[in-house]
Amino acid sequence: MSQPFRLNKEGLINRNKKISFTFNGKKLFGYEGDTIASALIANGIHLVGRSFKYHRPRGFFGAGVEEPNAKLQVEFNGHSEPNVNATEMELVEGLSATSQNCWPSVNFDVGAINNFLKMFFPAGFYYKTFMWPKSFWYKIYEPFIRKAAGLGVASIEKDKERYEHKFEYCDLLVTGSGPSGLASAYAAAKNGAKVILAEDKPRFGGTLLTDDVSIDNLSGKDWAEKIITELKSMPNVTVKNRSQVFGYYDHNMLVMFERVSDHLEKKSKFTPRQRLWYIRAKETILSTGSIERPIVFGNNDTPGIFLSAAAKEYMKVYGVLVGKKPLIFTNNDSAYETALEFKKNNVEPIILDTREEHSSELIDEAKSKGIDIRFSHGVIVANGYKKVKSAKIGKLNKDKNSFEKIETVDCDCICVSGFWTPSVHLASQSGNKLKYEEKIDAFIPDKKKQHETSVGAANGSFTLEESLKHGFENGSNLSAKITETKTEISIPNVNEKKYGAHDKFWCMPLPKNENPKRFVDFQNDVSVSDIEIALREGYRSIEHVKRYTTLGMATDQGRTSNLNGLQLVSNIENKIVPEVGHTTFRPPFTPITIGTIVGREVGMEYMPTRKTPMHEWHEKNNAVFVDAGAWKRPRYYKEGNETLFEASKREAKNVRENVGICDVTTLGKIDIKGPDAAEFLNRVYTNAWMKLPIGKARYGLMLREDGIVMDDGTTTRISENHYHMTTTTAQAANVLSHLEYYLQIVWPELNVNVVSTTEQWAGAAIAGPKSRDMLSKLYPDLDVSNEALPFMGYKEAEFFGVPSRIFRISFSGELAYEINVKSDHGMFMWEKMMEVGKEFGNQPYGTEALSTLRIEMGHVAGPELDGRTIPSDVSLNGLVSKKKDFIGKNSLGREAFNVESRQKIVGLIPIDRKSSIPEGSHIVQDQNAKLPNPKLGHVSSSCWSVENNNPFSLAIMKDGKNMIGKKFFAVSPLKNKSIEVEVISSHYVDPEGKRVRS
């Protein structure tokens, strides 16, 4: 169980705690503090996956967020997650990782045949090949591509983990805890600002953990620890590790992804797995650092090829060697630090430097340590299929376009450095137009659009001294503006190595007659030749080249490939990089789990649940509920084995014959008060409201300004200046906003106040021929005769000791009343009604019976008032006043609203008197006509008429007035039904409306 590539002492891992895990079924171990990547490399495992298109063997390339290859399917804590970045995921006991995109195994992958057929997979392959025949796409091409490509497998199990959202506000958000981030946070904290410092990695310090520097005579790591400890002790500072700020949105809203407990072996029940932070920051410091970019060469994707800084990080942080025979391939000084680190650990590196022989502090040090340095040299092609075995290296000529000498050297890893690319993703997302900095061959932030300031390497400053200085200065100045306090901080003394100039060299030429793949984008398998093809085929815009070749479109967002791709395009096009421009950076910076985005809004918490005060009673009495917006309403009360159809028929029949009660609490209720209330209602409703007496209700219809019916309901005059409006359940919120709009903006001169009282009143409808008898028992002291409480009458009276409102209004078309009591008394009212109603055969009824009752009466509701109907369409033109003005009146004169053949509400019954007509059916003349069959109307609501014992539907039909008596077909392709129907009046039951007045 030895780890052949683990160093004895080096690193920040805990060698006292072993952690066991499996990789592709093999049992291995690592240490606390390892990532999956560092533990595998310690065990000498490099081959971890197959590439996306060609299924080429792939290993690790980076040591963190920049990793393009090592995406694994990982099972831990009882769930399976695809595309986990092995260089970021910390090792936890019992974790099990498997390779993706390979079959049957990573060592022997059938798909690798693609690699040998690569001439058939050029850029745009999918676009060119799978275009025809068109019908092949769904059945053959797409399933094939999906199987062959793609990354990991999403779990189909329910996610049992807990995710959270958090909203936070701060003066200064610092993204990244490298030297400039620490300095900024520290200076701002000292000024008393509310600071959040976010670090993506488990350890704070960024490059301070790996660079050979000292600050105020402390090592970089110790200085970082000192600053973090002090920051943590300050009450105005929040310090977060394992937290990636991945999105920069409008008005300085940043979103952060915190991995709360993925690294924990045990956690308490309520600890979330991950947390999403919405942070509104007054100022943001972007100290996101930079990412090393590679130099492009042949077979540069072979396992064992690393970024040079990653190789150093594996040694210094994890105590792991990426190889024992390293080649260091560089165009700059920073890779010399990696070479020196190898040397320190008794490994002999060879440095290939594309620059001509020269001298700098680091080169001199490497020379003095006896390291083999070969100037004007580079790697042409790596040899080895599943692991680097050797490399063909070449001495470049003066123009660096051909070779003076070529030889092969043995190696087991190649550490490559093509200089540094500032991480400008967040700055770009904030709206900052980037500018190209010639000095570093990369883009840096330019003019800001929001309150963001990039410091340190993210801003293109690659020295520690500069990074610290900018950090302290910006942290101090930005926070002082907010806190109006400025604490002087002396900038510490820094000891660091001076770097010489880098070589503007990014792609190795190929010797004649050699044509290995040179990859620019590893994750999407985009090679130099793919980009060349795209340009040859006429793609010019970098955005088009990106989409055609898929360069930079993978989950790593081209972190290591974008600039090399741009360089290539600019070389071929003979344009300078700034002219080519860059593609758009979009959030998220790194992939985040869908669970985190959803947070706690799952299951019962998906949306609020509104329950009426009588909900518990409904539950106890076998109510089957239906969602009405956020409300739960009883759809029917199940007796025995009844179906929905049977139960609703029974309930509706009982209302027609005896009496039933229905929970109508969910209806919107708006209290309207003020001396101008009548005038206001008169403008809002289409009918007249100025003369409604106190103690009377009236049915009202309101329109939108375009003449379309918005809502209907009754409004009751409670007292001189006090009205009680009801709306439909669905429109309650919209109607309130509508009223507020007119009162606040259009007619502020009206002295009226409106407020929602929906939740303040519990409501029950009592409907049926015996409802008056029942009412008289509920109110023994009240005269409830037709004379004393006529249709549309209103009374206030005590209901067994509690105050109540009695409205004589009806939705069912029967003699009916609605009783309102304060919500707290709702249950009391309901139970009392059930008790008193027994002798009259009272039964509760749900929304299904309610619909049946209103449909067969021809009363319109949501399905008819669907945002397309005007009053005359639904036979409500009697409610439209010709004398007064109201909202939407002017629109009713529109020509299209007044043509003779305008749609109109009608009733439909099936010719066979048996077949139910599906809602949504289209009405056509000839069911066998050729398509498109002209549509004459549609079925809006359907029921089983309990009065006539046959199906009945309402429909909105063209020229409906003149269609009565004629026969048509109601066709529902969805239900595969075609039913012959006869058009009749929409008022199927009691067309004169005698019952409600009885």
Stretch that binds another protein, among 249-257, 400-408, 584-592, 782-790 (CB under 8 A): 249-257
Of 268, 513, 737, 928, the residue at the interface with another protein (CB under 8 A) is 737
Of 104, 370, 608, 893, the residue at the interface with another protein (CB under 8 A) is 893
Of 898, 910, 914, whose CA–CA distance to 939 is shortest? 910
Both tokens of 78, joined, read: 């009882």
CA atoms within 13 A on the CB side of 258: 23
Distance of alpha carbon 887 from alpha carbon 740, whole angstroms: 14
In angstroms, what is the minimal distance from the CB of 956 to another protein? 23
Our CB check for another protein shows the closer of 165 and 395 to be: 165
Cα distance from N-terminal residue to C-terminal residue, the chain: 93
Write out the binding residues for another protein, residues 150-169 only, by CB under 8 A: 167
In angstroms, what is the minimal distance from the CB of 745 to another protein? 5
Both tokens of 867, joined, read: 């945002």
Write out the binding residues for another protein, residues 911-970 only, by CB under 8 A: none
Of 370, 404, 377, 401, whose CA–CA distance to 391 is shortest? 377
Our CB check for another protein shows the closer of 223 and 680 to be: 680
Both tokens of 500, joined, read: 């010489």
Query: Does 431 interact with another protein (rule: CB under 8 A)?
Result: yes
Query: Does 747 interact with another protein (rule: CB under 8 A)?
Result: yes
In degrees, rounded to 5, the angle at the alpha carbon of residue 554 between the alpha carbons of residues 549 and 560 is 90
Of 67, 71, 70, 77, whose CA–CA distance to 21 is shortest? 77
Which DSSP state fits 743?
I
Of 8, 359, 513, 744, the residue at the interface with another protein (CB under 8 A) is 744
Q: Which residue is associated with the tokens 């290939």?
A: 352
Q: Which residue is associated with the tokens 């008394």?
A: 825
In angstroms, what is the minimal distance from the CB of 742 to another protein? 9
Query: Does 252 interact with another protein (rule: CB under 8 A)?
Result: yes
Query: Does 884 interact with another protein (rule: CB under 8 A)?
Result: yes
Of 142, 404, 885, 980, the residue at the interface with another protein (CB under 8 A) is 885
Our CB check for another protein shows the closer of 104 and 748 to be: 748
Of 439, 449, 868, 966, the residue at the interface with another protein (CB under 8 A) is 449
Distance of alpha carbon 286 from alpha carbon 204, whole angstroms: 15
Percentage helix, strand, coil for the chain under 3-state DSSP, each rounded to 5:
25, 30, 45
Of 4, 132, 250, 512, the residue at the interface with another protein (CB under 8 A) is 250
Query: Does 706 interact with another protein (rule: CB under 8 A)?
Result: yes
Of 582, 683, 717, 808, the residue at the interface with another protein (CB under 8 A) is 683
Stretch that binds another protein, among 83-91, 490-498, 652-660, 737-745 (CB under 8 A): 737-745
In angstroms, what is the minimal distance from the CB of 503 to another protein? 40
In angstroms, what is the minimal distance from the CB of 282 to another protein? 10
Q: Which residue is associated with the tokens 């942290």?
A: 475
In angstroms, what is the minimal distance from the CB of 683 to another protein? 6
In angstroms, what is the minimal distance from the CB of 427 to another protein? 15
In angstroms, what is the minimal distance from the CB of 450 to another protein? 9
In angstroms, what is the minimal distance from the CB of 691 to another protein? 17
Query: Does 890 interact with another protein (rule: CB under 8 A)?
Result: yes
Query: Does 616 interact with another protein (rule: CB under 8 A)?
Result: no
In angstroms, what is the minimal distance from the CB of 873 to another protein? 18
- Please count the other Cβ atoms lying within 10 Å of the Cβ belonging to residue 572: 14
The Cα-based distances of 535 to 116, 298, 989 in angstroms read 24, 21, 74
Query: Does 253 interact with another protein (rule: CB under 8 A)?
Result: yes
Binding mask 267-286 for another protein (x = CB under 8 A): -----------x-x------
Of 147, 397, 741, 967, the residue at the interface with another protein (CB under 8 A) is 741
Stretch that binds another protein, among 45-53, 109-117, 250-258, 396-404 (CB under 8 A): 250-258
Query: Does 748 interact with another protein (rule: CB under 8 A)?
Result: yes
Task: Give the distance from CA 76 to its chain's centroid.
Answer: 24
Distance of alpha carbon 749 from alpha carbon 755, whole angstroms: 18
* Radius of gyration of the chain, Cα coordinates, nearest whole angstrom: 38
Sheet holding 372-375, edge to edge: 305-307, 413-417, 326-330, 350-353, 372-375
Amino acid making up residue 355:
R
In angstroms, what is the minimal distance from the CB of 674 to another protein? 16
Full 3-state SS string of 957-998:
ECCHHHHCCCEEEEEECCCCEEEEEEEECCCCCCCCCCHHHC
Full 3-state SS string of 96-134:
EEEECCCCECCCCEHHHHHHHCHHHCCCCHHHHHCCCCC
Kindly report the backbone phi and psi dihedral angles of residue 898, in degrees, each rounded to the nearest multiple of 5, phi listed first. Answer: -120, 10
In angstroms, what is the minimal distance from the CB of 707 to another protein? 9
- Please count the other Cβ atoms lying within 10 Å of the Cβ belonging to residue 362: 21
In angstroms, what is the minimal distance from the CB of 885 to another protein? 5
Query: Does 896 interact with another protein (rule: CB under 8 A)?
Result: no
With CB under 8 A as the rule, give the number of residues binding another protein.
Answer: 26
CB 238 within 8 A of CB 215: no
Which spans of this chain sit near another protein (rule: CB under 8 A)? Answer: 167, 249-253, 278, 280, 431, 449, 683, 705-706, 737, 740-741, 744-748, 884-885, 890-891, 893
